[in-house]
Structure 1
Amino acid sequence: MTATHARARLLSVLVCLLLGCLPLLIPWDAGAQPAREVLRAVHTDVLHTTYDGASLKLATRIGTGEYREADPAGLIFNLEDRGSAKVELPDVPAFAFLGKPGDPVWIAPESQDPELIWPGWDTETIAAGVMKDDVVDLTLVSADGPGAVEVFFNYDEFTGVVPRVFSSVDPAYKTLHQPTGRHVHANWSFGALGTYKLVFQATATTQAGATVSSGPVEYTFVVGSYEPPTTPPTTPPTTPPTTPPTTPPTTAPTTRPTSSPTPPACVTAVLSVGHVDVAARTVGSALRFQVKDGTQGTTVWRDPGTVAFQVKPSADEAVPASPSYRFLGAAGTTVWQIPQTQAEDLLWAGWNTESVDYSTLNGPVRWSLDKVAGPGKVAVYQFDQFGEPLISFDSAKTLPQSISLAGPTHAHGNWAFTELGLYELTFTYSATTKSGQQLKDTATLPVVVGSDLGALCPGGPTPTSEPTETPTTGPTDTPTTTPTASPTSSQQPTQDPTTAPTSAPSGQSSPSLRPCTTTSSPTRTPAAGTTGTSTASTTAPGTTLTSGHADYAARIEGSSLTSRLKDGTKTGDPVWRDPAAVTIRLNSAAGTTAPGGAFSFLGATGSAIWQIPQTQKADVVWLGWNTEELTAAQVYGGGVDWRLDKVTGPGRMAVFEFDSFGRPKIIFNSADGLPDRYRIPLGTHAHGNWAFTAAGTYTATFTHSATLADGKQSADTTTLKFVVGPSGGARSFADDSSPAPTTEATTDCKLAMTGGSIGPGLLAGAAVFVLLGVVLVIATRRGIR
């Protein structure tokens, strides 16, 4: 080897050694972490509190239905500066703790807005009896950021109070005594854009007397836009491929799939009463925009080109005086509305992505209003956490406008039209698959406001107001269950049902029923005209319900319509109970005071009342009504008549909801004469407010009646007991078989709606004002059943 070769060999070695040491010369951050997951427009229980028998832990739970857990250290909770997030504070003294009137704050709302992150907390996995007093303390240890942080529940219309939970500036609101077995949401407010570091800690005492703690856990919230930090790569980038992919990526056609039927020259059906959804669904590999028609009690998928909506003349309403409604016109002017809550004789239109396969998508489904042709303006709106209108679409402003539906959604809002006539609403549903494929479907939906259906087909025959054929645009599905994040349905009281048909509808067969476990039943009172007796009770006498979800329901057992109490207060499948064997117990958590004004039917301002609210509240039974077990193949006429026959007790009883402008709608009122009747469409699951004006024991006698598919009338009458008042009242409730007082009530009130799922001691005596639907869409979501 020559000297030249030796020097060359040595030089090569030195170069290799130098290159090998280069990574050591580059500054390295020993604390560098993997990229954090950014949570946007998703449901998350930020403070997911668990106990494994030894350790109390704080983590985060993400998703709806099928949850996954994550370490908060690897997450960014991003409240984007978009949609309804930025709010100007109202000139209401109750909100003074947030700042001065007109100041901006950014809020992740208590009710889900599908465009924003939906943060909450939970202790659902901690069973009763594990912790002393069944309570875990959640404490905001510290907060660092550019503005104040406040967590609070919705404004209480009855008390005029905003219940506060956590505050970064007020030491009085640092610790929440949270009952176990709960899932809670509230408003998270931030005073400025930027990054916040919130440190929380969970502590509790076991039944054995041991103190357990999660220790401090840091959560990072970013309000506004978030850009992940950039770091230089630790390894050289890989060489790009030298050959192009064998097949280029494809995109979905922007026109309607060729498998869709050609829309007829004129629509063949006009939907004017009942439940419909402007829906997106996955069909094969395509995203389809269709109308989910449930007006006949079963689901039919229709092409928007074959169907029209009608907003009846009777849907007219006067625009409220509040300045918040100026987007609809001057105060007192007339608008015609599809209401957010179901009315018996009107169309009830929502939006729905429950049939979309989100597992194939990269991101949300977007629903846009592209164009409006018609004689007036169109707006779709709900309410924000201050009870003000939250506008999703407003044709008075530049179109297109869109909203983001981050997960399977079923929601309802108010659809307002400012003039009579024919409107054509062009909507688009769009999404992107995980492979980058763009999915899109656009169609135009005609809406007739008023009675002139001839405007749909100039020069042609006037279409019928009922469907005349079953389209073949998609498979017929059974009705899906509405997520509890979505608004519950409600209907206006009706008069006596019409005469039953003499024969059953043709071509209908009764579907199979789920088995009903039975035991001996208390004596039942058969209703006049009933065709048979009810089956036995599903439970032994003496069941008392004090919290959780239950429904007063109608179903078919044997060959008869039967009233049942659907008890979902415990985990697992619901138990179907005989109402006569159930006591609903309302303790001090249900107490509040009558607000007066529009609610004067509840009593004098400040007088005590006890109320089951329309939205779930901790330590109060959440009682609704339900016809989801019934189908059009079993019941003729599309619904069940629900009647309150008699009330006994020390005070008045009333059940009520709200209309689209927040006014109470009374369903039952024992004060103004009974019986009261209410029509419940098939497939309904709804909640309202149940109010009692005095402490004591009440019995309420109800009747469900309907015309069965064979043309015969069937009815069932039973009595439900309510025990109302503070704990430790006049008598023991261990034995629920004891007779109720027989004194006839002299009631004269109808009730109002409240809400909020919260811990005792924080909101005892509060009936939180329900914001029906917040954000257009809801969804979902997210239920508490």
Structure 2
Amino acid sequence: MLATGHADLVSVFLGSGTLTVAGQSDVDRKATRFDPARTTVNVTDAALRPAPGSPAYDFLGVPAGTPIHVIPQTFQPGVLWAGWNTEAIPRGALAGDSVDITLNQARGPGLVEVYLTGLDGPERVWSSRNPGPRTLRTAVPTHAHANWAFTAPGVYELEFVASATAASGAPLVSAPVRYVIVVGPLAAAPTRTTLDVAETVGGLRLTGRVSGGPAHLDGGVPTGWMEFHRHYADRDDVVDHVAVDGGSAVLPVPDEPDALGYTARFVPAFHDLVAPSESPTVANPRAPPGAIVVGVRDRYTAGDTITATALVTPAQPDHTISWWTRKGSTTTPRGTTGVLTITATTDLDGAELGYDLIDTKGNAVASARAVPLRVSPAPPPTSTSPTTGPTVGPSTTTTSGPGAPPTTTTEPCVATEVTRTVRPGEVEVVTDGHFDYGPVIEGGTLTARVKDDRQGTPTWRDPSGYVFHLTDTARTTPPAGSGYDFLGSGPVWTIPLTQRPGIPWIGWNTQHPSVLGAVTGDVTMTLESVNGPGKLAVYGQDPFGGVGDRYFGTVEGFPRSTAIPAGRSGVHVHGVWAFTAPGSYSVTFAFTTTANGRPLTTKSTLAFHIGPGDPAAARPASTVVDQVGRTPSGQECALGTRGLADTGASGDVLFGLIVAATLLIPLGLLLTNVATLAAARRRR
């Protein structure tokens, strides 16, 4: 079950010439792939909010003020943060480096709308009621997030399919994949199971039927298996399991003259969505005389209700049932009806439950085999706090430098510093792709690195090697009265909340394994200074376009620092970066934390160039310190494959501290992300 933290719900993979749609979530420091067909996604009431009154959000299809659930586009602790991802597909493998992700079908008690928010209003991505927003053409590689709105609580089914054209020209289409999303409190829907036992030539035909289940899951017909049980005077056994088809399961069985009765138990395919149930025991029409106890579970928790049924063959309507429990030498009368109901208490743990059959003269003419009772104490009330996880790239081993294969030596691979000077004009000017900025512990010292996800496998690099260039693609003007008065009345250049073509997408994180292994509290990220022609504001947005969290900035009313949790899995955050004037900026940050009981701090500078001019001039000559893999004998090796001696990271975290030996990439090699919405394909 997935309810909090970071998840790329719709992730597209390419392997052996086949496209596959699956999910990825952050578990214990790494991205873990999951099968949507076997995973329940829960949008809890932490995502509940009133629908907006702005006409721009009329596409939500509900009146203003209606309570709806919205997975936000911006990371919020304790709320699921859902997006999509194509970073696992190698660049050049698909024509145009793009893939179409289509919402093939959507069923549920309300409407589903997935949309992006920005200063220029909402942009729809997928819609359950409008055939227009059904297909998203997204670039390779892309990692994006949006708002996911559900207008009514209940169970939803969303089916996605991916399609593309291979570089060879061959069409590629994935198998459709179903996502089950529970909106609101997660509770298993009750079911009801019945059993019919019919005589056949030489045997019996057992027919189990189940009803109930969420109306919008599998068409309201529960899926799973029917488990048929057979009861004897001295034992019980399982006859067989049969898959439920259309709500029923049929099992022919040979004649068993010693069997007193049969029971059908429904075993659901989704235990967290559909509850199991058991039929009343039905007597074998050819049963010999006997008495048994049926309906008692293997274990109870104190406070549960124990329901037991007396099955007597042949039926003796004029006889009386005398129930009892026995523990040690103490026997306690419990009732005289055919069905006994008592409350499970811990003093019943280890007791036996049975009954005597009393005739009209008061004589015990038969005794049922006693069944044991197992009762566990009720668990104490607990309060849980949601955990959040990092965004981690695919676990792919890379070499320590361009074109250098991993060595086969068994020597340890040690993170080794390589220092070089970057002259003006030699820096890499970045206009596209996904990056995160965050702390790394190297040799016991805190430093800042940029996590570069553009090649699928993340690398951690010195910030001094980059200039992030925001061209006029990032230029916009906040509408008057929109609540963004702190940006002024003129144009601003923004890095938006989700990845867009032609704009570098920069976030911040505490996801490096060296940090996760040493820091248990928060990392404080402080904006030390901004040197440039304008001001900077970094903030979140709520799902309806309003200003969300104010992280840091130099405009009035903005703080200078933000706390980033580390914990077991770290945190990955994106915000809007808004610059109020064109030109070159040097933005200096400090990271401060306590690791392994020692206070640590570091400072570094991000360079931005806004608008026209020479971006490379934004970064003066600087010394860059990169980390590469070296064995003690000096051989190049891939960090993360045989341990990270000086980073504090575990060797099984393959993405590790992987840093290329050089940062210099030809300026003409720019990413060509395409994240525009395409015309919807016809529903299959």
User: TM-score, with normalisation over the residues of structure 2?
Assistant: 0.47
Q: TM-score, normalised on structure 1?
A: 0.42
Instruction: Decide which structure has the larger Cα Rg and report it.
Output: 2
More strand by share: 2
